[in-house]
Amino acid sequence: MTLTRESILEAALRLCSPEGGGQLTFSRLGKELGADPTAVYRHFRDKDELVLALTDLVIQEGIELARQTLPDGPSDDWRAWLAVTAHSVRTSHLARPALAVLAAARTTASPAETHSVEQLISVLHRAGLPVIEAAECYRALLDMTLAMTQYTAAFSILDRQAQEQDEAAWAVKYGMLPEDEFPLLHRSAPRLTELFRDDDTVFALVLDTFLDGVAVRIGRAGEA
CA-based nearest residue to 92, from 63, 67, 126, 131: 63
List of residues 6+ apart from 101 with CB closer than 8 A: 150, 153, 154, 157
pTM for the complete prediction?
0.89
The low-confidence residues of the chain, meaning pLDDT below 50, are none
Q: Where are the alpha helices (DSSP H) in 17-46?
A: 26-33
SS3 150: helix
- pLDDT score of 2: 76
- pLDDT score of 1: 58
CB-based burial of residue 204 (10 Å sphere; 0-12 exposed, 13-18 middle, 19+ buried)?
Answer: middle
Summarize pLDDT for 72-114 with one digit per residue, the tens.
878 789 999 999 999 999 999 999 999 999 998 889 999 999 9
Domains of the chain: residue spans and CATH? 1-44 (1.10.10), 45-223 (1.10.357.10)
- pLDDT score of 198: 93
CB-based burial of residue 122 (10 Å sphere; 0-12 exposed, 13-18 middle, 19+ buried)?
Answer: middle
